[in-house]
Protein backbone atom coordinates (compact mmCIF):
# COMPACT_ATOMS: atom_id res chain seq x y z
CA UNK A 1 0.00 0.00 0.00
CA UNK A 2 1.14 3.54 -0.73
CA UNK A 3 2.11 5.55 2.31
CA UNK A 4 0.21 8.70 3.20
CA UNK A 5 3.14 10.72 1.89
CA UNK A 6 3.22 8.86 -1.43
CA UNK A 7 -0.52 9.32 -1.83
CA UNK A 8 -0.16 13.06 -1.33
CA UNK A 9 2.81 13.23 -3.70
CA UNK A 10 0.90 11.30 -6.38
CA UNK A 11 -1.94 13.80 -6.11
CA UNK A 12 0.47 16.69 -6.49
CA UNK A 13 2.14 15.07 -9.50
CA UNK A 14 -1.26 14.49 -11.09
CA UNK A 15 -2.01 18.19 -10.66
CA UNK A 16 1.28 19.07 -12.38
CA UNK A 17 0.37 16.69 -15.21
CA UNK A 18 -3.01 18.37 -15.65
CA UNK A 19 -1.35 21.79 -15.84
CA UNK A 20 1.31 20.56 -18.32
CA UNK A 21 3.99 21.46 -15.76
CA UNK A 22 5.35 18.08 -14.73
CA UNK A 23 9.06 17.71 -15.29
CA UNK A 24 10.57 14.42 -16.41
CA UNK A 25 14.13 13.25 -16.86
CA UNK A 26 15.19 12.53 -20.43
CA UNK A 27 18.29 10.38 -20.90
CA UNK A 28 20.72 11.26 -23.68
CA UNK A 29 24.17 9.98 -24.55
CA UNK A 30 27.17 11.18 -26.52
CA UNK A 31 29.05 9.09 -29.06
CA UNK A 32 31.60 10.36 -31.57
CA UNK A 33 30.69 13.94 -30.73
CA UNK A 34 26.98 13.37 -31.46
CA UNK A 35 24.08 13.60 -29.01
CA UNK A 36 21.70 10.65 -29.13
CA UNK A 37 18.42 9.86 -27.40
CA UNK A 38 17.62 6.64 -25.53
CA UNK A 39 16.83 4.85 -28.80
CA UNK A 40 20.17 5.85 -30.33
CA UNK A 41 18.64 8.44 -32.67
CA UNK A 42 20.96 11.36 -33.43
CA UNK A 43 19.79 14.78 -32.21
CA UNK A 44 20.84 18.34 -32.89
CA UNK A 45 21.61 19.73 -29.46
CA UNK A 46 19.94 23.15 -29.28
CA UNK A 47 19.46 23.21 -25.52
CA UNK A 48 22.69 22.56 -23.64
CA UNK A 49 25.03 25.09 -22.03
CA UNK A 50 28.17 23.59 -23.60
CA UNK A 51 28.52 26.80 -25.58
CA UNK A 52 32.04 26.18 -26.92
CA UNK A 53 31.83 22.41 -27.15
CA UNK A 54 34.63 22.03 -24.61
CA UNK A 55 33.05 19.08 -22.79
CA UNK A 56 34.04 17.01 -25.84
CA UNK A 57 37.39 18.70 -26.53
CA UNK A 58 40.29 16.20 -26.60
CA UNK A 59 42.55 18.32 -24.40
CA UNK A 60 39.86 18.85 -21.74
CA UNK A 61 39.05 15.14 -21.61
CA UNK A 62 42.71 14.10 -21.64
CA UNK A 63 43.71 16.40 -18.79
CA UNK A 64 40.72 15.30 -16.72
CA UNK A 65 41.82 11.69 -17.15
CA UNK A 66 45.48 12.52 -16.52
CA UNK A 67 44.79 14.35 -13.26
CA UNK A 68 42.47 11.58 -12.06
CA UNK A 69 45.17 8.99 -12.68
CA UNK A 70 47.84 11.12 -11.03
CA UNK A 71 45.89 12.48 -8.05
CA UNK A 72 43.01 10.08 -7.49
CA UNK A 73 39.32 9.78 -8.27
CA UNK A 74 38.00 12.00 -5.49
CA UNK A 75 38.89 14.71 -3.05
CA UNK A 76 39.63 13.46 0.49
CA UNK A 77 37.67 16.05 2.47
CA UNK A 78 36.45 19.62 2.63
CA UNK A 79 38.88 22.37 1.75
CA UNK A 80 39.57 23.33 5.37
CA UNK A 81 40.46 19.75 6.34
CA UNK A 82 42.65 18.03 3.73
CA UNK A 83 40.85 19.03 0.53
CA UNK A 84 43.14 21.90 -0.47
CA UNK A 85 45.79 20.49 -2.77
CA UNK A 86 48.43 22.30 -4.76
CA UNK A 87 46.42 21.66 -7.94
CA UNK A 88 43.34 23.26 -6.35
CA UNK A 89 45.23 26.42 -5.49
CA UNK A 90 46.84 26.49 -8.93
CA UNK A 91 43.47 26.35 -10.68
CA UNK A 92 42.09 29.10 -8.43
CA UNK A 93 45.10 31.28 -9.20
CA UNK A 94 44.61 30.63 -12.92
CA UNK A 95 40.91 31.50 -12.64
CA UNK A 96 41.68 34.75 -10.84
CA UNK A 97 44.14 35.76 -13.56
CA UNK A 98 41.57 34.92 -16.25
CA UNK A 99 38.95 37.09 -14.53
CA UNK A 100 41.42 39.91 -13.83
CA UNK A 101 40.85 39.63 -10.06
CA UNK A 102 43.14 39.26 -7.07
CA UNK A 103 41.76 35.88 -6.05
CA UNK A 104 39.16 33.21 -6.77
CA UNK A 105 37.47 30.45 -4.78
CA UNK A 106 36.04 27.22 -6.18
CA UNK A 107 32.55 25.94 -5.35
CA UNK A 108 30.71 22.76 -6.30
CA UNK A 109 27.98 24.45 -8.34
CA UNK A 110 26.58 27.82 -9.31
CA UNK A 111 23.44 27.20 -7.27
CA UNK A 112 25.52 26.38 -4.21
CA UNK A 113 27.65 29.49 -4.69
CA UNK A 114 24.76 31.94 -5.06
CA UNK A 115 22.66 30.27 -2.38
CA UNK A 116 25.41 30.45 0.25
CA UNK A 117 27.67 33.37 -0.70
CA UNK A 118 24.80 35.89 -0.75
CA UNK A 119 23.72 35.07 2.84
CA UNK A 120 27.35 35.23 3.98
CA UNK A 121 27.74 38.68 2.43
CA UNK A 122 24.43 39.86 3.88
CA UNK A 123 25.78 39.32 7.38
CA UNK A 124 28.91 41.43 6.97
CA UNK A 125 28.94 44.44 9.32
CA UNK A 126 26.43 45.87 11.79
CA UNK A 127 27.11 43.14 14.28
CA UNK A 128 27.00 40.39 11.65
CA UNK A 129 23.18 40.22 11.83
CA UNK A 130 20.62 39.38 9.14
CA UNK A 131 19.66 43.07 9.02
CA UNK A 132 23.18 44.24 8.24
CA UNK A 133 22.53 44.53 4.49
CA UNK A 134 19.72 45.65 2.21
CA UNK A 135 19.62 43.64 -1.02
CA UNK A 136 18.45 44.95 -4.41
CA UNK A 137 17.82 42.12 -6.87
CA UNK A 138 16.76 42.09 -10.55
CA UNK A 139 13.33 40.49 -10.93
CA UNK A 140 14.60 37.97 -13.49
CA UNK A 141 17.57 36.79 -11.46
CA UNK A 142 18.18 33.04 -11.35
CA UNK A 143 16.43 30.86 -8.77
CA UNK A 144 19.73 30.36 -6.95
CA UNK A 145 20.01 34.11 -6.35
CA UNK A 146 16.39 34.25 -5.16
CA UNK A 147 17.12 31.36 -2.82
CA UNK A 148 20.22 33.12 -1.49
CA UNK A 149 18.19 36.24 -0.76
CA UNK A 150 15.58 34.24 1.13
CA UNK A 151 18.15 32.34 3.17
CA UNK A 152 19.92 35.59 4.05
CA UNK A 153 16.74 36.91 5.70
CA UNK A 154 17.93 40.36 4.65
CA UNK A 155 15.46 42.95 3.45
CA UNK A 156 15.30 42.33 -0.30
CA UNK A 157 13.82 44.78 -2.79
CA UNK A 158 13.25 43.57 -6.34
CA UNK A 159 13.78 46.06 -9.15
CA UNK A 160 12.13 45.79 -12.57
CA UNK A 161 14.19 43.79 -15.01
CA UNK A 162 17.15 45.82 -16.28
CA UNK A 163 15.38 49.01 -15.14
CA UNK A 164 18.19 51.05 -13.65
CA UNK A 165 15.90 54.02 -13.07
CA UNK A 166 13.76 51.87 -10.79
CA UNK A 167 16.88 50.55 -9.06
CA UNK A 168 18.10 54.12 -8.57
CA UNK A 169 14.76 55.07 -6.97
CA UNK A 170 14.94 52.11 -4.58
CA UNK A 171 18.51 52.95 -3.62
CA UNK A 172 17.56 56.59 -3.01
CA UNK A 173 14.75 55.48 -0.71
CA UNK A 174 17.33 53.59 1.33
CA UNK A 175 19.71 56.57 1.59
CA UNK A 176 20.56 57.45 5.16
CA UNK A 177 19.35 54.14 6.58
CA UNK A 178 21.82 51.97 8.53
CA UNK A 179 23.45 48.94 6.98
CA UNK A 180 25.14 48.10 3.71
CA UNK A 181 23.65 47.83 0.23
CA UNK A 182 24.17 44.89 -2.15
CA UNK A 183 23.02 44.88 -5.79
CA UNK A 184 22.50 41.46 -7.42
CA UNK A 185 22.25 40.82 -11.15
CA UNK A 186 23.11 38.36 -13.86
CA UNK A 187 25.20 39.63 -16.74
CA UNK A 188 23.36 37.36 -19.21
CA UNK A 189 19.90 36.34 -18.08
CA UNK A 190 19.37 32.61 -18.33
CA UNK A 191 15.80 32.54 -19.64
CA UNK A 192 15.59 35.69 -21.79
CA UNK A 193 19.15 35.76 -23.17
CA UNK A 194 19.50 39.52 -22.75
CA UNK A 195 22.31 41.42 -21.03
CA UNK A 196 22.63 43.72 -18.04
CA UNK A 197 24.31 47.09 -18.49
CA UNK A 198 27.26 46.30 -16.24
CA UNK A 199 29.05 49.62 -16.77
CA UNK A 200 25.94 51.58 -15.75
CA UNK A 201 25.41 49.30 -12.74
CA UNK A 202 29.01 49.91 -11.63
CA UNK A 203 28.42 53.67 -11.76
CA UNK A 204 25.10 53.38 -9.93
CA UNK A 205 26.59 51.18 -7.22
CA UNK A 206 29.47 53.61 -6.70
CA UNK A 207 27.08 56.57 -6.51
CA UNK A 208 25.02 54.92 -3.77
CA UNK A 209 27.88 53.25 -1.93
CA UNK A 210 26.59 49.77 -2.77
CA UNK A 211 28.49 46.57 -3.51
CA UNK A 212 27.78 44.93 -6.88
CA UNK A 213 27.45 41.13 -7.27
CA UNK A 214 27.33 39.84 -10.86
CA UNK A 215 26.43 36.29 -11.88
CA UNK A 216 28.44 35.63 -15.06
CA UNK A 217 27.33 31.99 -15.49
CA UNK A 218 26.22 32.42 -19.10
CA UNK A 219 28.80 35.05 -20.09
CA UNK A 220 32.04 33.48 -18.84
CA UNK A 221 33.89 31.95 -21.77
CA UNK A 222 31.49 33.46 -24.30
CA UNK A 223 31.42 37.25 -23.95
CA UNK A 224 33.87 40.00 -23.08
CA UNK A 225 37.54 40.23 -24.03
CA UNK A 226 38.86 36.70 -24.64
CA UNK A 227 35.66 35.35 -23.13
CA UNK A 228 36.43 36.79 -19.70
CA UNK A 229 32.84 37.93 -19.16
CA UNK A 230 30.98 41.23 -19.33
CA UNK A 231 32.39 42.40 -15.99
CA UNK A 232 35.87 42.32 -17.54
CA UNK A 233 34.84 44.98 -20.06
CA UNK A 234 34.52 47.72 -17.47
CA UNK A 235 35.87 46.59 -14.10
CA UNK A 236 34.50 47.84 -10.82
CA UNK A 237 32.43 44.75 -9.98
CA UNK A 238 32.95 43.74 -6.35
CA UNK A 239 31.87 40.09 -6.54
CA UNK A 240 31.87 37.96 -9.68
CA UNK A 241 30.29 34.52 -9.74
CA UNK A 242 30.82 32.19 -12.65
CA UNK A 243 30.21 28.57 -13.51
CA UNK A 244 32.50 25.96 -14.99
CA UNK A 245 29.87 23.54 -16.33
CA UNK A 246 28.74 25.74 -19.23
CA UNK A 247 31.20 27.30 -21.67
CA UNK A 248 34.11 25.65 -19.80
CA UNK A 249 32.67 22.19 -20.41
CA UNK A 250 33.54 20.92 -16.93
CA UNK A 251 31.78 21.28 -13.57
CA UNK A 252 31.67 23.59 -10.58
CA UNK A 253 31.65 27.33 -10.00
CA UNK A 254 33.76 30.10 -8.56
CA UNK A 255 33.69 33.46 -6.87
CA UNK A 256 36.28 35.99 -8.01
CA UNK A 257 37.16 39.29 -6.37
CA UNK A 258 39.57 40.78 -3.88
CA UNK A 259 41.84 38.68 -1.68
CA UNK A 260 39.98 40.05 1.34
CA UNK A 261 36.64 38.89 -0.06
CA UNK A 262 37.94 35.38 -0.69
CA UNK A 263 39.51 35.17 2.79
CA UNK A 264 36.16 36.21 4.30
CA UNK A 265 34.30 33.50 2.38
CA UNK A 266 36.81 30.87 3.47
CA UNK A 267 35.93 31.79 7.05
CA UNK A 268 32.20 32.47 6.87
CA UNK A 269 30.56 30.87 3.83
CA UNK A 270 28.92 27.54 4.80
CA UNK A 271 28.63 26.38 1.19
CA UNK A 272 32.42 26.41 1.02
CA UNK A 273 33.27 25.36 4.59
CA UNK A 274 31.06 22.27 4.79
CA UNK A 275 31.47 20.84 1.27
CA UNK A 276 33.93 18.28 -0.06
CA UNK A 277 36.48 19.78 -2.45
CA UNK A 278 36.23 19.33 -6.22
CA UNK A 279 37.85 16.09 -7.48
CA UNK A 280 41.09 16.08 -9.50
CA UNK A 281 39.40 15.14 -12.79
CA UNK A 282 37.23 18.25 -12.61
CA UNK A 283 40.22 20.41 -11.75
CA UNK A 284 42.11 19.00 -14.73
CA UNK A 285 39.22 19.74 -17.08
CA UNK A 286 38.96 23.31 -15.79
CA UNK A 287 42.72 23.79 -16.08
CA UNK A 288 42.63 22.70 -19.74
CA UNK A 289 39.60 24.87 -20.50
CA UNK A 290 41.39 27.90 -19.06
CA UNK A 291 44.24 27.23 -21.48
CA UNK A 292 41.82 27.07 -24.42
CA UNK A 293 39.13 29.70 -23.81
CA UNK A 294 41.19 32.89 -24.32
CA UNK A 295 42.19 31.75 -27.82
CA UNK A 296 38.69 30.82 -29.00
CA UNK A 297 37.61 34.12 -30.57
CA UNK A 298 36.70 32.35 -33.82
CA UNK A 299 34.43 29.96 -31.93
CA UNK A 300 32.79 32.86 -30.11
CA UNK A 301 32.21 34.61 -33.43
CA UNK A 302 30.63 31.48 -34.88
CA UNK A 303 28.41 31.14 -31.81
CA UNK A 304 27.22 34.73 -32.20
CA UNK A 305 26.52 34.07 -35.89
CA UNK A 306 24.55 30.91 -35.10
CA UNK A 307 22.47 32.82 -32.57
CA UNK A 308 21.67 35.64 -34.97
CA UNK A 309 20.65 33.21 -37.70
CA UNK A 310 18.21 31.56 -35.32
CA UNK A 311 16.79 34.89 -34.11
CA UNK A 312 16.22 35.91 -37.72
CA UNK A 313 14.49 32.61 -38.52
CA UNK A 314 12.23 32.91 -35.48
CA UNK A 315 11.36 36.49 -36.37
CA UNK A 316 10.19 35.33 -39.81
CA UNK A 317 7.77 33.01 -38.01
CA UNK A 318 6.65 35.90 -35.74
CA UNK A 319 8.06 34.36 -32.57
CA UNK A 320 8.96 36.82 -29.83
CA UNK A 321 12.61 36.37 -28.84
CA UNK A 322 12.31 39.14 -26.24
CA UNK A 323 15.58 41.12 -26.11
CA UNK A 324 17.94 38.22 -26.66
CA UNK A 325 21.37 39.29 -27.86
CA UNK A 326 23.33 36.20 -26.84
CA UNK A 327 23.53 32.46 -27.45
CA UNK A 328 20.35 32.00 -25.37
CA UNK A 329 17.29 32.58 -27.58
CA UNK A 330 13.76 32.22 -26.22
CA UNK A 331 10.84 31.61 -28.58
CA UNK A 332 7.86 32.69 -26.50
CA UNK A 333 4.76 30.61 -27.24
CA UNK A 334 2.37 31.23 -24.37
CA UNK A 335 0.65 28.19 -22.91
CA UNK A 336 2.39 25.22 -21.39
CA UNK A 337 0.58 22.78 -23.68
CA UNK A 338 1.53 24.68 -26.84
CA UNK A 339 5.17 24.95 -25.77
CA UNK A 340 5.34 21.21 -25.13
CA UNK A 341 3.72 20.52 -28.51
CA UNK A 342 6.25 22.73 -30.28
CA UNK A 343 9.13 20.96 -28.52
CA UNK A 344 7.69 17.62 -29.60
CA UNK A 345 7.46 18.74 -33.23
CA UNK A 346 11.10 19.78 -33.15
CA UNK A 347 12.02 16.50 -31.50
CA UNK A 348 10.32 14.64 -34.35
CA UNK A 349 12.59 16.59 -36.69
CA UNK A 350 15.67 15.52 -34.71
CA UNK A 351 16.13 18.76 -32.77
CA UNK A 352 16.32 18.87 -28.98
CA UNK A 353 14.88 22.20 -27.79
CA UNK A 354 13.39 22.11 -24.34
CA UNK A 355 10.08 23.73 -23.41
CA UNK A 356 10.40 26.00 -20.37
CA UNK A 357 7.23 26.52 -18.33
CA UNK A 358 6.10 28.17 -15.09
CA UNK A 359 7.27 28.53 -12.40
CA UNK A 360 10.65 28.90 -14.12
CA UNK A 361 9.19 31.63 -16.36
CA UNK A 362 6.13 33.83 -15.74
CA UNK A 363 2.66 32.45 -16.44
CA UNK A 364 1.67 32.89 -20.09
CA UNK A 365 5.28 33.03 -21.33
CA UNK A 366 6.06 29.33 -21.76
CA UNK A 367 8.67 29.05 -24.43
CA UNK A 368 11.20 27.06 -26.33
CA UNK A 369 14.55 28.00 -24.88
CA UNK A 370 17.30 27.54 -27.42
CA UNK A 371 20.87 27.48 -26.12
CA UNK A 372 23.30 27.15 -28.99
CA UNK A 373 26.91 26.09 -29.28
CA UNK A 374 29.78 26.98 -31.58
CA UNK A 375 30.10 23.28 -32.39
CA UNK A 376 26.91 23.43 -34.49
CA UNK A 377 28.24 23.50 -38.06
CA UNK A 378 26.45 24.85 -41.13
CA UNK A 379 24.71 21.54 -41.82
CA UNK A 380 23.36 21.30 -38.27
CA UNK A 381 22.24 24.92 -38.29
CA UNK A 382 20.50 24.45 -41.64
CA UNK A 383 18.59 21.47 -40.24
CA UNK A 384 17.69 23.43 -37.13
CA UNK A 385 16.45 26.43 -39.12
CA UNK A 386 14.43 24.16 -41.43
CA UNK A 387 12.75 22.55 -38.43
CA UNK A 388 11.97 25.99 -36.99
CA UNK A 389 10.51 27.14 -40.30
CA UNK A 390 8.13 24.16 -40.29
CA UNK A 391 6.78 24.82 -36.79
Helices marked H in 326-377 — which ranges?
A: 336-348
Is residue 335 flagged as an active site residue?
no
Q: Of 215, 287, 299, 336, which residue is the catalytic one?
A: 215
Q: Closest Cα partner for 266 from 40, 83, 54, 16?
A: 83
Region 22-52+297-389: CATH code: 3.90.1150.10
CA 188 to mean position of chain CA atoms: 8
Q: Which pLDDT score is estimated for 127? A: 55
Question: Which is the catalytic residue, given 142, 187, 220, 238?
Answer: 142
Residue 38 pLDDT > 90: no
User: With pLDDT > 90 as the criterion, what percentage of the chain qualifies?
Assistant: 90
Tell whether the model's pLDDT for residue 130 goes beyond 60.
Answer: no
Residue 215 among the catalytic residues = yes
Instruction: Assess contact for 342 and 368: CB atoms under 8 A.
Output: yes
Which residue did the predictor score with more confidence, 125 or 42?
A: 42
Q: Is the pLDDT of residue 128 over 60?
A: no
| DSSP-assigned states of every residue in 78-133 | BIIIII--HHHHHHHHHHHHHHTSSEEEEES-HHHHHHHHHHHHHTSSGGG-TTSE
pLDDT digits (tens, 9 = 90+) for 256-278: 999 999 999 999 999 999 999 99
DSSP string spanning 211-249?
A: EEEEE-TTTTTTSSGGG--GGGGT---SEEEEESSSTTS
Q: How does pLDDT run across 170-204, given as a tens digit for each residue?
A: 999 999 888 899 999 999 999 999 999 999 999 99
Active site annotation includes 218: yes
Question: pLDDT band for position 126 (50/70/90)?
Answer: low
Catalytic residue among 57, 71, 99, 218: 218
* 263 tagged catalytic: no
Catalytic annotation, pick one of 190, 220, 306, 324:
190
- Three-state SS string across 141-170, please? CCHHHHHHHHHHCCEEEEECCCCHHHHHHH
Per-residue confidence band for 30, with pLDDT thresholds at 50, 70 and 90: confident
Q: How far apart are CA 332 and CA 367, in angstroms?
A: 4
For residue 312, what pLDDT is reported?
A: 97
CA distance 347 to 329: 17
Domain boundaries, the chain: 22-52+297-389, 58-294
Residue 326 pLDDT exceeds 90: yes
CATH for 58-294 is 3.40.640.10
Q: What is the pLDDT of residue 381?
A: 97
Q: What is the pLDDT of residues 214-258, one digit of tens each?
A: 999 999 999 999 999 999 999 999 999 999 999 999 999 999 999
Catalytic residue among 45, 47, 49, 216: 49
Q: What pLDDT score does 31 carry?
A: 75
Average pLDDT over residues 276-282: 98
Q: Is the pLDDT of residue 122 over 90?
A: yes
**Active-site hit among 99, 181, 246, 375:** 246
Whether residue 92 is predicted with pLDDT greater than 90 in this model: the reply is yes
Catalytic annotation, pick one of 92, 186, 216, 238 = 186
142 is catalytic: yes
pLDDT of residue 382: 97
Amino acid sequence: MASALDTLLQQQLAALDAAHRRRRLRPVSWADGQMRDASGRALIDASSNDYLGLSQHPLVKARAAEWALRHGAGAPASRLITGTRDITLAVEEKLAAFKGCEAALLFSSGFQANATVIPALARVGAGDTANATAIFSDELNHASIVHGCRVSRAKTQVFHHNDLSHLDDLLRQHAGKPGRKLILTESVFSMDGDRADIAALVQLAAHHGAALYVDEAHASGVLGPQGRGLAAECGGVDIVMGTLGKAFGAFGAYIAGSRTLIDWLVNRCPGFIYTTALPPAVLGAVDAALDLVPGMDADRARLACNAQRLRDALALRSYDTLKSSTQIIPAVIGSEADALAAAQRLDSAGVLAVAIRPPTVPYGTSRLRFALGSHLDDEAMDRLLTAVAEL
